[in-house]
Amino acid sequence: MTRARWTTALCAVLLACESSERRDDWPQWGRNPQHTGLAEVAAQPLDAVLAEVVSDPFVSAEKAESGDDLFVHYPVPLLEDDALYLGFKAGAYRACDPPGSGRPFPCGADAWGTQTWGVKKLQWRGGSLTEAWNVATDWKPVPNGAPLSGWEPVFHPVLTRAYLWVPAASGGVLRVAKDSGRVVARLEPFRTMTGVFVAGGLAADEVGNVYYNAVQLAADDPWGEDVLGAWLVRITLAGTATTVPFGTLVAGAPRAGDLCTAAFSTEPLPWPPGTAASPPRLPCGSQRPGINVIPAVSADGTIFTVSRAHRNGRYGYVVAVHADLSPRWAASLRGALNDGCDVLVPPSGGPGGCRPGAGRGVDPETNEPPAGRVLDESSSSPVVVPDGGVLYGAYTRYNGSRGHLFHFGPDGRPLATYDFGWDMTPAVFPHGGSYSIVVKDNRYAGSYCDDPAFCPAPPPRFAITQLDSHLRAEWSYLNTTDESCRRDAGGGLSCVPAPPGGFEWCVNQPAVDANGVVHANAEDGYVYAIDQGGELLQRAFLDQALGAAYTPLSIGRDGLVYAQNNGRLFVVGRSPRP
């Protein structure tokens, strides 16, 4: 069935179509079903902070557990007309004693289920944001464990024209009336199962269908035992839920009991331990979604998501699914890279290099061609580009603790890769019949082995880079902030010299306005407006410089910029809504 016939048939069932993408609003991750991060309006100048709202009251305790870093993924602020739909946390935070000790267990990240999540609707009234209502949900993140390393998963709702849809417990969602906050319905595709979680956020297509990933984990050992189930879910406006197992969508993936390549871990450095050395091979586990992945939907109805072997993130796939939820293709993140030893890794035998004699281009951790890795710590999600292809940012580590951006064609064929700053959903700026791609290009002070005796860390460098449609760099803007600042009680700035290495960009998706101006936040506490060509237009300080959570931005129909810092939402611009 063609896309047009499929849409017509669905609309006939629903009696009317509701668009989830409304001009000038920002109803979901990446603003539109393709996740391009592109606004339809010009952003206002970043002249002042016009409003501030606390979304996470536990920031002080969360930072104490992690050495003053904030390891929480926050949702994008959702915008519709004069309303802001803001994810918030409440409940209780069970701190460790002392902080960071992990005791008494469970505490800190191991007890994040004691918190609660919900959505506040705030509206502009008289130049201020006023709360209209709030709705709480029983959604909980998956339990902490080795794949997450203390990074709290994202809670992410979505707006369609008629409803707010909110993740709920047991792999379900709440359908909420936007005028009142009343829960109209609870949709439970897995009501007879236990241990099912909404994994990642909700997305909506142009018709109003809602999509998300779900995973069922073993209660006693969720990360050691194989996953019990994993699904892509679609819920229609009428409330009909359809689920399809991930195992049927990932053709060619290893089976759960097959042995997959792991990594060297105890062998003497430098790696690989020898030219013919083989790393351990361990059971792969079943295919399931990356924990923070939010599906994208193309204009022809194709759904894109990301899968990985439960026990091994080196066996990952970008998955394309037809509108009827039948498999279209699954593109492996293995086999496209050959830039390890003596390419992106320093020369073999030298500082930070592989063992002399290592094969050119191999990953020193596996002695095999590198694989793009799907990390559950990451919030990277697929992006559909104007030519029908798809982008995904994977982790690779050997290239200075960075990742690679993958570009696949509409048929799943790998077209290009770019060595970039990982944990990133890129933004897309169409122009002149083509398009450009905006990425975080952090170069961290890391290496493949993190042992200063063998792998001294290179100096860090933190940039926002724009690529052309072939993933070739067009321009970069380098963060050169040399002070670490915070707001004092009177609202002024108190600053000290910046720590060595400077500040990385802590954005996990930039926002691009109608003029191509890129908006991104950094760990220096500022939100930036960067013009085409990589020239700084303006920046505005928010709250404080900190080892920050990776957060997205949004731009309202009036051009106001909504950015996040230190568990707070900041609205920045020249003039507020009346």
pLDDT tens profile 61-77: 999 999 999 999 999 99
What is the C-alpha to C-alpha distance for residues 72 and 63, in angstroms, rounded to an integer? 10
Residue 39: pLDDT over 90? yes
Residue 18: pLDDT over 80? no
Q: Flag whether 578 is in a domain.
A: no
Q: SS3 for 4?
A: helix
What is the C-alpha to C-alpha distance for residues 578 and 561, in angstroms, rounded to an integer? 16
What is the C-alpha to C-alpha distance for residues 101 and 65, in angstroms, rounded to an integer? 8
CB-based contact 294:200 (threshold 8 Å): yes
CA Rg value for the chain: 23
Q: Give tens-digit pLDDT for 492-537.
A: 899 999 988 889 999 999 999 999 999 999 999 999 999 999 999 9
Q: Per DSSP, what are the bridge partners of residue 368?
A: 363
Sequence-distant (6+) residues with CB within 8 A of 402 are 395, 396, 419, 420, 421, 422, 442, 443, 444, 446
pLDDT of amino acid 8: 38
pLDDT of amino acid 4: 37
- Nearest of 329, 210, 233 to residue 289 by alpha carbon: 233
Residue 9: pLDDT over 70? no
- pTM of the entire predicted model: 0.95
CB-based contact 518:466 (threshold 8 Å): yes
pLDDT, averaged across the chain? 94
Angle, CA of 360, 362 and 364, to the nearest 5°: 115
Instruction: Output the domain CATH number for residue 370.
Output: 2.130.10.10
Q: Flag whether 536 is in a domain.
A: yes
Q: Flag whether 474 is in a domain.
A: yes
Q: Give tens-digit pLDDT for 146-167.
A: 999 999 999 999 999 999 999 9
Q: SS3 for 61?
A: helix
Per the listing, tokens 């053709």 go with 251
What is the C-alpha to C-alpha distance for residues 326 and 305, in angstroms, rounded to an integer? 13
Q: Flag whether 259 is in a domain.
A: yes
CB-based contact 375:145 (threshold 8 Å): no
Q: Flag whether 233 is in a domain.
A: yes
Q: Return the sign of the alpha-carbon dihedral for residues 566, 569, 574, 576.
A: negative
Q: Give tens-digit pLDDT for 271-330.
A: 999 999 999 999 999 999 999 999 999 999 999 999 999 999 999 999 999 999 999 999
Number of domains in the chain: 1
Structural domain harbouring 385: 3-573
The phi, psi pair for 510, rounded to 5°, reads: -70, 170
CB-based contact 300:4 (threshold 8 Å): no
pLDDT of amino acid 273: 96
pLDDT band at 491 (very low <50, low <70, confident <90, very high): confident
Residue 16: pLDDT over 70? no
Residue 23: pLDDT over 80? no
pLDDT of amino acid 239: 93
Q: Flag whether 276 is in a domain.
A: yes
CB-based contact 158:234 (threshold 8 Å): no
Cis status, amide bond into 270, omega within 30 of 0: yes
pLDDT band at 550 (very low <50, low <70, confident <90, very high): confident
